[in-house]
Amino acid sequence: MRRQKAARVIPDARVPQPQSNDSDSPGMSATGRPEREYRSAKHEGTPVSLQSVRDYFAERGVDVPIIELDTSTATVELAAQAHRVEPGRIAKTLAFRLGDGRVIILVASGGTRIDHRKFKAAFGRGRMLAPDEVVELTGHPVGGVCPFGLAQPIPIYLDASLRDFDEVLPAAGAVHSAVRISPARLAQVTDGQWVDVCQR
């Protein structure tokens, strides 16, 4: 059974820690900007993560319901089964640290994998963040990572593979949550930039 609640994205994420935090204030991110409050534990942070997505949508006037299920949607496969869609419609959110130290988020179709040649051409070298780094930087639990309501500002990139679908489902801050949204609307809501770095 599916329950819908007011608004608050996708599975498969991993994220890095800031290179250094020289700020004297514990509430500041590596960029010197205030961070949202959230629990560091992966699953304990879920309620806070969901609320951060709701707040993000509310602040932007985005009327997109958050879908909460009774089953886990923490992986592309589980999410596709739970929502009864093909894996490609699941928008997975991946986090990388680039060679110059910057952290980025990439949202791509669940039916793709990174094309290393294309990725290097677009961003240079990069590595996927470890689970603890993902939680630290996004404020979302692994399996519920999305490009909404992040703990601190991180550039969002959307892979062209998402445009193969009229609607995709990214996670919404919890391992049993998602939203249904068009790729164009996703780009608008996240201020995401389009790139082509994945293999279909």
Angle at 190 between CA 187 and CA 193, to 5 degrees: 50
Residue 79 lies in a domain: yes
Residue 157 lies in a domain: yes
Residue 8 lies in a domain: yes
- Give this prediction's pTM: 0.76
Residue 100 lies in a domain: yes
> Per-residue pLDDT for 68 more than 50?
yes
Query: What confidence score (pLDDT) does residue 74 get?
Result: 93
Helix (DSSP H) and strand (DSSP E) numbers for the chain: 5, 11
Structural domain total, the chain: 1
Query: What confidence score (pLDDT) does residue 36 get?
Result: 36
Residue 23 lies in a domain: no
CA distance readout (Å), 17 to 24, 64, 78, 114, 165: 17, 30, 27, 21, 33
Q: Which residues contact 198 (CB under 8 A, 6 or more apart)?
A: 108, 109, 112, 113, 114, 115, 118, 159, 160, 161
% of residues, the chain, pLDDT over 90? 75
101-160, pLDDT tens digit by residue? 999 999 999 999 999 999 999 999 999 999 999 999 999 999 999 999 999 999 999 999
Residue 24 lies in a domain: no
CA-based nearest residue to 96, from 126, 120, 70: 126
Burial class (CB in 10 A: 0-12, 13-18, 19+), 185: middle
Domain of residue 94: give its range.
Answer: 2-18+32-199
Residue 26 lies in a domain: no
Query: What confidence score (pLDDT) does residue 48 get?
Result: 85
34-66, pLDDT tens digit by residue? 333 333 333 344 568 899 999 999 999 999 999
- Residue 140 belongs to a domain with what CATH number? 3.90.960.10
CA-based nearest residue to 73, from 15, 140, 12, 114: 12
Residue 25 lies in a domain: no
d(CA 122, CA 197): 7
> Per-residue pLDDT for 88 more than 80?
yes
